[in-house]
Amino acid sequence: MITPVILCGGSGTRLWPLSRKSYPKQFVPLAGVQETLFQASATRLKGPGIGLPLVVTGPDFRFIATDQLAEMGVEQATVLIEPAARNTAPAILAAALWVEARDPDALMLVMPSDHVIPDAAAFAATVARAEPEARAGRLVTFGIVPERAETGYGWLELSETPTEAPQPLKRFVEKPDAATAEAMLEAGTYLWNAGIFLFSVAALRAAFEAHQPDMLAAVSASVAGARQDLSFHRLDPAPWAEAADISIDYAIMERADNLSVVPYHGHWSDLGGWDAVWREAGPDEDGVVTTGPASALDCENTLLHATAEGQEVVGLGLRDTLVVAMPDAVLVADASRAQEVRAAVETLKIKGAAQAETFPRDHRPWGWFETLALGDRFQVKRIVVKPGAALSLQSHVHRSEHWIVVAGTAKVTVDDTTRLISENQSVYIPLGAVHRMDNPGKVPMVLIEVQTGAYLGEDDIIRYEDVYARDSDD
């Protein structure tokens, strides 16, 4: 059995402002498709001998991941929650130990959650070619036959021109400069390093025993101490903190002597920057891509990406430019500097700007909310609650609230009173009142919340009951 393992803990800062720490690129539809990158990854490999996916993610993304899986009809995936991001080596090892405990003979296909691989059949055929190598105890990595002299990827050097068959690896190459990338492309014996792997759980354990015994001990203890949390499995945080923060390439792959490379000849992208999104979206004859409410006049080689309702983004006479407009942040960049967007994020962090990491729409297990207006002692939010979902039974120390339902029906509890509030009706929640809101209907319920008080932070909440088993700050 092959278990697909989906890694989805990254923050995708090179696609800021659309991708942020609170809601990264793998969960956002991109490049003109409706499904997200995470959804495409989780459903890419199907068929006989393929198990349900195992997802490794952080606590902030657990409900987003399961919601998006459910949208694709995947209801029984295993979700491991990392107590803290520790890079790919501990994450992959934790998945391997979890799978090994249930099937010692299993193979594991490890895939990042933010890659574009449009030809699922070609990818599945490539995995099938790699399977005998993995069954024989080899650690298989997949290399992409390059389309251009890319400086944003690491490369793999082979001893000969890549075919479709597994081949030995000569060496790993770090992200090159432009001249080196051109030389490697011309040589024809190099592949892009995709960060996709296939191996048996036994072979991976042996590799960690040989090269990372301390990490094996720490992660083994963390997996052994995992606790059930609703449908999730939370790894034990204390031993997890002892695991080194290191990638699987540095920890294992660059040290192993049983490594094979299987070339993939189909199209692939990690959408590692807005220049990659521009390529994937299919520029017109002038090299222009527009997404959302955007218009380009006399532009060339330009991306205009707009997202907000009621917004219009217009580009006039732009050349080699990236423009990404969100309700709370706008990126304007020279297309040649797409890989430097993360530096802008670091600058915003230093300034203390919330836009560096926080998305304007805050996703919760019951739905989402966004701030429409914020001032001294007041805040106005739009709140959307999924059918059948419920907010926690809670109270606030510093604020009162006024709810106005604008779509659907809300079941509202305030202290000892429960009643239904329909469209165009409202209810007042006094300071300190114990309250709850449910959506008993079959369609999303939308309301406008007006908060007033001395302090309006999200941490002003006391939870008494919660169907999602969250802590007060979760």
Q: What is the pLDDT of residues 403-444, one digit of tens each?
A: 999 999 999 999 999 999 999 999 999 999 999 999 999 999
| Overall average pLDDT of the 270-279 stretch | 91
Q: What is the pLDDT of residues 194-244, one digit of tens each?
A: 999 999 999 999 999 999 999 999 999 999 999 988 889 999 999 999 999
Instruction: Assess whether 47 and 143 both reside in one domain.
Output: yes
Instruction: Assess whether 389 and 250 both reside in one domain.
Output: no
Number of structural domains found in the chain? 3
Q: How far apart are CA 19 and CA 7, in angstroms?
A: 16
Q: How far apart are CA 10 and CA 266, in angstroms?
A: 25
Instruction: Assess whether 216 and 296 both reside in one domain.
Output: no
Q: Last residue of a domain, which of 223, 244, 264?
A: 264
Instruction: Assess whether 282 and 260 both reside in one domain.
Output: no
Q: How far apart are CA 88 and CA 260, in angstroms?
A: 19
Q: Last residue of a domain, which of 218, 234, 264?
A: 264
325: amino acid identity, one letter: A
pLDDT value of position 448: 97
In 3D space, the residue among 192, 193, 194, 141 whose CA is nearest the CA of residue 166 turns out to be: 141
pLDDT value of position 272: 86
Q: What is the pLDDT of residues 290-336, one digit of tens each?
A: 999 999 999 999 999 998 878 999 999 999 999 999 989 999 999 99
Which pair of structure tokens corresponds to residue 88? Answer: 């790919």
pLDDT value of position 33: 64
Q: What is the pLDDT of residues 245-261, one digit of tens each?
A: 999 999 999 999 999 99
Which residues are registered as beta bridge partners of 5?
54, 110
Query: Position of tokens 């429409």?
Result: 372
Statement: residue 472 has pLDDT above 60:
no
Q: Assess contact for 424 and 361: CB atoms under 8 A.
A: no
**Percent residues over pLDDT 70 in the chain:** 98
Task: Check which CATH number belongs to the domain holding 143 and give it.
Answer: 3.90.550.10
Q: How far apart are CA 427 and CA 448, in angstroms?
A: 11
Range of the domain at 411: 361-465
Query: Could you tell me if residue 474 is inside a domain?
Result: no
Instruction: Assess whether 249 and 283 both reside in one domain.
Output: no
The single-letter DSSP state of residue 241 is T
Instruction: Assess whether 177 and 86 both reside in one domain.
Output: yes
Q: What letters, b where the CB count within 10 A reaches 16 and e where it falls short, cover 233-253?
A: bbbbeebbeebeebebbebbb
Helix or strand or coil: residue 102?
helix
Task: Check which CATH number belongs to the domain holding 395 and give it.
Answer: 2.60.120.10
Query: Could you tell me if residue 226 is inside a domain?
Result: yes
At 473, is the pLDDT very low, low, confident or very high (cuts 50, 70, 90)?
very low
pLDDT value of position 152: 86
Query: Could you tell me if residue 461 is inside a domain?
Result: yes
Query: Could you tell me if residue 352 is inside a domain?
Result: no
In 3D space, the residue among 153, 243, 152, 132 whose CA is nearest the CA of residue 195 turns out to be: 153
Query: Could you tell me if residue 472 is inside a domain?
Result: no
Q: How far apart are CA 408 and CA 406, in angstroms?
A: 7
Instruction: Assess whether 233 and 322 both reside in one domain.
Output: no
Instruction: Assess whether 257 and 315 both reside in one domain.
Output: no
Instruction: Assess whether 378 and 443 both reside in one domain.
Output: yes
Give pTM, 2 decimals.
0.87
Q: How far apart are CA 290 and CA 445, in angstroms?
A: 32
Query: Could you tell me if residue 350 is inside a domain?
Result: no
Instruction: Assess whether 237 and 324 both reside in one domain.
Output: no
Query: Could you tell me if residue 206 is inside a domain?
Result: yes
Instruction: Assess whether 19 and 165 both reside in one domain.
Output: yes
pLDDT value of position 440: 96
Query: Could you tell me if residue 124 is inside a domain?
Result: yes
Residue 368 backbone zone (phi > 0: left; psi -120 to 50: alpha; other: beta): beta
Instruction: Assess whether 112 and 141 both reside in one domain.
Output: yes
DSSP output for 183-224: HHHHHS-EEEEEEEEEEEHHHHHHHHHHH-HHHHHHHHHHHH
Q: What is the pLDDT of residues 19-33, one digit of tens each?
A: 988 888 899 887 656
Q: What is the pLDDT of residues 351-407, one digit of tens each?
A: 999 999 988 888 888 999 999 999 999 999 999 999 999 999 999 999 999 999 999
Query: Higher pLDDT residue, 26 or 470?
Result: 26
Q: Last residue of a domain, which of 264, 288, 314?
A: 264
